A and B are shown apart, each in its own frame.
Chain A
Amino acid sequence: MAWELTIWNPTGDSPRVFTDATTPNPLKAKPEIIVDAGGRTNSISLRVRNDILQAGPRDIIRWREWAIEPMTYQGQRLTFNGERLHFRVWDVRVGAGVIVSSPPITSPGSGPADRDADALDRISAVGLEHLLTERIVRTGPTIALDVATIAYNLCRDYAHPAIIVNQSNFPPTGYQLGVFYTPEKTLEAALNDLIATLPSGGRYHINADRGITFRGSP
């Protein structure tokens, strides 16, 4: 299996990419990633050499993994310029999260005798939905709009800069709200309130490409 770890700064800019071919490689072990049903990242746990990775608190990380199969023709391995060719299969952006616990960027990782391995090389990240709890809605009342349109307007105006808001990810629900008014609430609470107004419910989540999606249940 091959992998790719992408790191952005806390505002989602300046991406840096590390792969299994990176030398020196910052990863000391394969990560553990927990994803809830529907694609919402629960947690990501990595063991790294942070003096190479340079991941700071609140950096955004994404883990991508794929399998490689050899490219063959009539049973023969194909090569190009002396290099063997491969297919990339099962290419999955597994999850993305925001780092909530990390070693200092000067940390060289832990050795077998170190009792504070957690502090020296463990990075913990939670799903990007955590960023929705740190943004405050300040809008006035919204009147007579589709619920998904209201959600899009709120995310467009108040979402964390690391979250990508694309209107195509907010398909109309078919239900309109008379008035929606949530001053000084978190964006997460406002989205939860919008979900609660839908007769058949709905859900939102932030995918591994940092895009927020909002959908009503059919």
Chain B
Amino acid sequence: MATFSSARVLNYERVPIDAQDLVTSARIVIAGDLSDKSAGINTVVEPPFPEPHASLDHPYYPAPIVRAYDHALHATYAAERSFKLPSGVDPFLPRSAFTSEALAASVEFSGPRSALTDGNPTTFMHANTSIVDNPQLAWRAGSGREVVGCRLTYALKMTDGSLPFRVRVFAGTYFVQFGSPPVFYTITQEAELILDPSEEPREVIFVAPAASQDARQTMDPSWTAMRLMATGVGWEYFRVFDFWPLVINEPLVQDIARAQIRLPASNPRRVTVRGLLPPADRQHTITGWPGGTYTGRVARQTFRDGNTIIDFEQPGAPPGVPAELLEAERVRINRTREAIQTATYPLIVGAHRR
């Protein structure tokens, strides 16, 4: 931050308050835009509805998983915008947030429970082939944690490659009646995933949004548990190297949403100062300013003829360019951007794998 006297000020002028791009409510879409493969969210499955409903009668329209941040001025301006998750950002809690002790129960799986979260590709739990009941693993994510999907690293060898190996994943509130065998009671949203055979460990990341037209979606969105149940036949071995629930990292996503907020400047101004100021400064203080010392946030600096033109709070039109030309350019850019967005928006909220 530079501090200098008003004696260095050569010129002072106001800048129009620019309110063209306003965002007072930012909505971050966690799962809903499947064009961004880098986010690692690339599979959404179609849930089978319980009997007697047939899937064809009740097609799946997923409700996108969204986290929103509303600024206090949203009640005044009501300007909201939806954003994709920035590329490369993992919005979920890491594996270290889950311990194997949180695993509620397993049925017909052998091996150390720690294998599910240790990240070691040589340790795994494996389902027994000579079984009567479907092998199951169950997680309780912890109070206040909403489960939206799971990460699964598995190896699967089929004896009959023509048969599908289905894994049903249940997310919901979870209650276990311990006994032998344990009994699971769930209020759930179910999703079904077909796993491709792979003798090498293979990772699947999937998110299962609730069905937007399903009454269950409004019943209780706080799913805190995840259960995986294998229902396939004709398999030689099914090994699980990693399995833990996807829980949104709420503070991270809120920070991302908050960073998208754009508010109008209250009193933008442009000050021309003799000499050059540090380009990296984000704030300057002018002493001896009429009305008292002025400290302003720097939006842009222009260096010209040995002087510095500082735009405080908000960048103005480049010096010498009328503001209306700049506005016309912004309008043209926004219209072009909207035309491109309309043409390329992939309406694939829920790519189906069968």
Where the two chains meet, the residues of A that have a C-beta atom closer than 8 Å to any C-beta of B are: 9-11, 45, 57-58, 99-104, 107, 115-116, 118-120, 122, 124, 126, 133-136, 138-141, 160-162, 179, 181-186, 188-189, 192
Expressed in whole angstroms, the minimum distance between the Cβ of A68 and any Cβ of chain B is 32
How many residue pairs at the A-B interface have CB separations less than 8 Å?
Answer: 121
- Known pairs A58-B264, A122-B324, A124-B16; list 13 more (Cβ under 8 Å): A11-B78, A58-B19, A58-B77, A119-B13, A133-B334, A134-B22, A134-B79, A136-B81, A160-B78, A181-B61, A184-B33, A185-B345, A186-B82
Interface magnitude class on chain B: 35 or more
Q: How far is the CA of A103 from the CA of B316 in the complex (A)?
A: 12
User: Who on chain A is nearest to B79 by CB?
Assistant: A134
Residues of B within 8 A of A183 (CB): 32, 63-64, 212, 349
Residues of A contacting B338 in the complex (Cβ-Cβ under 8 angstroms):
133, 188-189
Do the beta carbons of A57 and B19 come within 8 Å of each other? yes
How many Å from the CB of B14 to the closest CB on chain A?
Answer: 4
Are the C-beta atoms of B27 and A100 separated by less than 8 Å?
no
Once bound together, how far apart are the Cα atoms of A49 and B322, in whole Å? 19
| A104 and B17 contact, Cβ closer than 8 Å, known pairs A58-B22, A124-B324, A183-B64 | yes
Nearest chain B CB to A32's CB is how many angstroms away? 10
Which residues in B have their C-beta under 8 angstroms from that of A179?
A: 61
Give, as a whole number of angstroms, the nearest-CB distance from B61 to chain A.
4
For B349, what are the chain A residues with a Cβ–Cβ distance below 8 Å?
181, 183-184
Contact at A100–B212, with CB atoms within 8 Å? no
Name the residue of chain B whose CB is nearest to the CB of A134: B79
Is B29 among interface residues, defined by CB-CB distance under 8 A? yes
Contact of B18 among A10, A45, A101, A126 (CB under 8 A): A101
B66 at the interface (CB under 8 A from A): yes
Which of B19, B23, B33, B63 sits near A101, CB closer than 8 Å? Answer: B19
Given contacts A141-B212, A183-B32, A183-B349, contact A57 B17 (CB under 8 A): yes
Known: A45-B324, A57-B264. A115 touches B13 (CB 8 A): yes
Contact B77 A189 (CB under 8 A): no
| In the assembled complex, B15 has its CB within 8 A of some CB on chain A | yes
Q: How far, in whole Å, are A120 and B15 apart by their CA atoms in the complex? A: 8
A184–B29 CB distance below 8 A: yes
Give the residues in chain A near B66, CB-CB below 8 Å: 138, 184
Question: Could you say which of A102, A115, A181 contacts B16, with CB atoms under 8 Å apart?
Answer: A102
Nearest chain B residue, comparing its CB with the CB of A196: B342
Q: Is the CB of B331 within 8 A of A122?
A: no
B294 to chain A, nearest CB (A): 15
Does residue B162 face the partner (Cβ distance < 8 Å to A)?
A: no
**Which of A102, A118, A126, A184 contacts B322 (CB under 8 A)?**
A118
Contact B76 A101 (CB under 8 A): no
Give the shortest distance, in Å, between B55 (CB) and chain A (any CB).
Answer: 15
Interface-centre pick from A11, A118, A135, A179 (highest chain B CB count, 10 A): A118
Q: Known interface pairs A116-B14, A124-B324, A141-B61. Does A102 touch B76 (Cβ–Cβ under 8 Å)?
A: no
- A118 to B268, alpha carbons, bound, how many Å? 13
**B8 CB, min distance to chain A CBs, angstroms:** 20
